[in-house]
Chains A and B, each alone.
Chain A
């Protein structure tokens, strides 16, 4: 995207500079000498995040880590590339120089980085641990970064949230749209067309709420609620050619659990599918996907000829909450005519598997379909039992992704437009806050050990964060949304009504 450089761009990195200054002060205070020559023990270092044996893209930001030893005074890490180069980190935590890190990973694509960790305790005694390895994948991750909504987990929070983007090769996080810019409004997730920065939609809830649609240089604020659809567009997915966006129209309510492992159960009073034609601002509906049953979370197939979605028979809610199970279905979509097909195919029947499917996400190369399975319901982030599953679209074979799942909720997955890499939200750290993890599907179809999104000072960051990384997705380029314009649109209720075709 071309855009002029403004003074605000110059001032924006102040946060980064300030972090650097604060970190340098800390590092200067903590840096000490190197460890003496000694043999490594047979024990791997206990580190946070657990980056041992993970596979990383060469483009990723430095994989800084902390050691989990209360008596640790200093950490010395020597990183050696299997092909070429080395670097070191020395301080209170293992923090790597960004430039040297990227040079090292670039030289070792397809190889390994070996981390030789030594820790000095408060008595000044050094311990050297068994080296661990990170694999530098030869599958590139060329996207600019990721976009996510920061939100307090699991509860109705109404506002005070924002959508942010984070550069993957650095630690820079910038707001896309913050609640401070559209005060008192709650923003739904950001849905982009294969990570494109110029094709996305965001639904804004509450008074003057509507669907913000960015397409090229045009930003429209649409009222997607029509008498025929009964609700606003909620969960969206773009057609690959950028003309259509499939949405589900959901009327969501929330009930609370009594036990400690669950907190909230969102469910749909009703939900139907619609497709928005962004060229004509018309909603395409069909009685086959607007039934008393619940149709939700649509996703176009990579060729755009099909829409995957979840479908459940309606049950008496909330009393029948544990009987609400969604099947994985698909329906054809005729892009020329802008019309839904006439038949729904069931790919996974909830009755047959006794589980509930949610969030189908096909990989952009058309090889796989990743989805969630839970005991019941439609909101996997609120279910500790939510696990990622993957279907081979060529064979129809499906399996639980044990290599990435945890005992807590693993959900909100999305694929990198470049293929191979995917991200997901997992509550594995404390059962409450969802953090971002990355993994890659290898040649054997297995996913690599997932790694937590790197931070400059990971323990401090994740300890102090009081938000979940909600609805994350990759973005190919940095999003530049004109927040004051959006604010003006929302404030003036400058909504454009859509029409409905059946």
Chain B
């Protein structure tokens, strides 16, 4: 009966955890799935033998690809944690009184769940823990003449290291704990201590022998594939990841919905809010309806950039139409992923090369994606020859907006990049809005006026947005422009009246959504 109660409690906990992961922590799970790639080919699988913990890493990475479906991912992660907890429970129940064992099991469950909270924690961490403990529990004795036997279970530590990396340390720990237990109960102490000592020697010694072959520093070889630190749920980061995922899925309304209600949004949230607005041709409309942050146009990426910042720059340049810098960011992001590649950037590199018309390079990435479980269909509908009509239309649209100049870039100044894009195609409104809005956030009115003239007025395509009208009024008023200038630039009567009203009440919060207020107050 008690057994059924225990199973029921475990089941309920597992289901609860799965539901929580799926509903509240999906951004983290998707990040893990998108931050790696798993190819279903023998060559790829064989590369797992290059480092220790091949079984832990292989199982972990193979299962992580199924995180693509968030519910399956949540169940997999919960079951992996449950397996670790079950293994720990078995060990503790053999060592301690039941109550103590269950209390410690509960604590270890909490710790393990805490370890799953950081986005960097990989599933292989849990597989290695479970594998290490299971091998610690296993016995391996060689008998002869029906009586004498040699305990070869320390050799399992070597197997544990080969298969589960740092999990071997848990194998050793289990052996030591059982030795202590035997010692305390005075049962065959000598044999157990010899076993434990051999296990320790192998557990510490084997990485010392092999770390050169694995091309790892000793400490890294000992703890491969890496430990995780328990943390509280990172809900702020989860929100950022969810926003980035909504953008990835081109659900711009959802991005804006998720970004709302934050008085002090972080850079990532604001970045995607603005970029989603730009994608809906409404960046000037929403720029000041949100706490003003950087548009991302002044951000540069490098060796020490956070992976999410590189992702953001990749998204920005891709949407602006600059395939050179989008490709650079994608390459860089790949390099700083586990095993130097990830599935999202593989998709992006394929898209970039399709837009650039570089079919041979695009096919390379598509062929790789074709070997994945979750992206084979995506690869198929992006492959030249079987390309889906909506994909084709999107590629052609982006190609029309991308840079067609054959020149060298003098730096990674985003302003120059946008100017080049506008020279190629003045109708690139995403680039145009980013240019003008960056000028306005910097309150550089002379540059704004110059850019507005160059890319709107001189080309006979004035962009009548309230934000630009308000900014132009500031410029015109500040330069004592004649009436005909006002009539040339300003078409909105209500905006003129509002400007006059604001002039008598400068700094009035009633005008906080206007550029005049921003110009005066921020």
How many whole Å from B282's CB to the nearest CB in chain A?
28
- Segment 229-280 of A: residues with Cβ below 8 Å from B: 255-260, 263, 265
Contact of B212 among A8, A25, A155, A256 (CB under 8 A): A8
A12 within 8 A of B: yes
Interface-located stretch among A16-24, A119-127, A300-308, A445-453: A16-24
Q: Per-residue CB proximity of A446-472 to B under 8 Å, as 1/0?
A: 000000000011001101101100000
A465 to B47, CA, bound (A): 12
B517 within 8 A of A: no
Question: Would A258 and B335 count as touching, CB distance under 8 A?
Answer: no
Contact A256:B364 (CB < 8 A) given known A181-B216, A464-B43:
no
Contacts of A22 in B (CB 8 A): 42-43, 45-46
Question: Which chain A residue lies CB-closest to B44?
Answer: A464
Interface-located stretch among A34-42, A397-405, A425-433: A425-433
B405 within 8 A of A: yes
B71 within 8 A of A: no
A395 within 8 A of B: no
Question: Would A19 and B406 count as touching, CB distance under 8 A?
Answer: no
B61 within 8 A of A: no
Question: Which chain A residue lies CB-closest to B363?
Answer: A430
Question: Would B39 and A155 count as touching, CB distance under 8 A?
Answer: no
- Segment 400-438 of B: residues with Cβ below 8 Å from A: 403-412, 420
A183 to B220, CA, bound (A): 11
Contact of B215 among A14, A175, A258, A322 (CB under 8 A): A175
Question: Would A466 and B340 count as touching, CB distance under 8 A?
Answer: yes
Residue with the highest number of chain B CB atoms closer than 10 Å, among A11, A23, A25: A11
Contacts of A257 in B (CB 8 A): 324, 406-409
A5 within 8 A of B: no
B357 within 8 A of A: yes
B351 within 8 A of A: no
A333 to B60, CA, bound (A): 58
Residue with the highest number of chain A CB atoms closer than 10 Å, among B336, B363, B409: B409
State which size class the interface on B falls in. Answer: 35 or more
Question: Which chain B residue lies CB-closest to A460?
Answer: B43
Contacts of A260 in B (CB 8 A): 323, 356-358
Question: Which chain B residue lies CB-closest to A160?
Answer: B335
A406 within 8 A of B: no
A6 within 8 A of B: yes
Question: Would B49 and A487 count as touching, CB distance under 8 A?
Answer: no
Question: Which chain B residue lies CB-closest to A186?
Answer: B303
B105 within 8 A of A: no
A175 to B210, CA, bound (A): 14
Interface-located stretch among B6-14, B90-98, B135-143, B325-333: B325-333
Contacts of B44 in A (CB 8 A): 464
Contacts of A255 in B (CB 8 A): 408-411
Contact of A178 among B54, B215, B357, B408 (CB under 8 A): B215
Question: Would A159 and B303 count as touching, CB distance under 8 A?
Answer: yes
Question: Which chain B residue lies CB-closest to A467?
Answer: B340
Question: Would A11 and B408 count as touching, CB distance under 8 A?
Answer: no
Contacts of A18 in B (CB 8 A): 45-46, 48-49, 54
How many whole Å from A104's CB to the nearest CB in chain B?
25
A483 within 8 A of B: yes
Residue with the highest number of chain A CB atoms closer than 10 Å, among B336, B360, B363: B360
A61 to B368, CA, bound (A): 25
Contacts of B364 in A (CB 8 A): 430, 432-433, 463
How many whole Å from A21's CB to the nearest CB in chain B?
8
Contact A256:B215 (CB < 8 A) given known A160-B335, A464-B39, A466-B341:
no
Contact of B217 among A12, A181, A265 (CB under 8 A): A181
Question: Would B216 and A180 count as touching, CB distance under 8 A?
Answer: yes
A321 within 8 A of B: yes
Contacts of B218 in A (CB 8 A): 484
How many whole Å from A178's CB to the nearest CB in chain B?
4
Residue with the highest number of chain A CB atoms closer than 10 Å, among B54, B303, B412: B303
- Segment 418-439 of A: residues with Cβ below 8 Å from B: 429-433
A430 to B356, CA, bound (A): 13
How many whole Å from B397's CB to the nearest CB in chain A?
17
Question: Would A466 and B334 count as touching, CB distance under 8 A?
Answer: yes
Question: Which chain A residue lies CB-closest to B218?
Answer: A484
- Segment 44-66 of B: residues with Cβ below 8 Å from A: 44-50, 54
- Segment 429-451 of B: residues with Cβ below 8 Å from A: none
B213 within 8 A of A: yes
A258 to B425, CA, bound (A): 14
Please name the 4 residue pairs, one residue from A and one from B, whose CB atoms are nearest each other, closest first.
Answer: A22-B42, A8-B213, A260-B356, A158-B303
Q: List 19 A-B contacts (CB under 8 A).
A: A7-B209, A8-B212, A11-B209, A14-B49, A25-B42, A156-B332, A158-B332, A160-B335, A160-B340, A178-B215, A183-B217, A258-B408, A318-B410, A319-B410, A432-B358, A456-B43, A457-B43, A483-B212, A484-B218
- List 20 extra interface pairs beyond A159-B303, A258-B409, A319-B410, CB under 8 A: A8-B209, A11-B213, A12-B213, A14-B49, A22-B46, A26-B42, A152-B340, A156-B328, A156-B332, A157-B331, A162-B215, A256-B408, A258-B407, A259-B403, A259-B404, A430-B363, A432-B364, A463-B364, A464-B368, A466-B368
Task: Point out residues on B near A: beta carbons under 8 Å.
Answer: 39, 41-50, 54, 209-213, 215-218, 220, 302-303, 323-325, 327-328, 331-332, 334-336, 340-341, 356-358, 360-361, 363-364, 367-368, 371, 403-412, 420
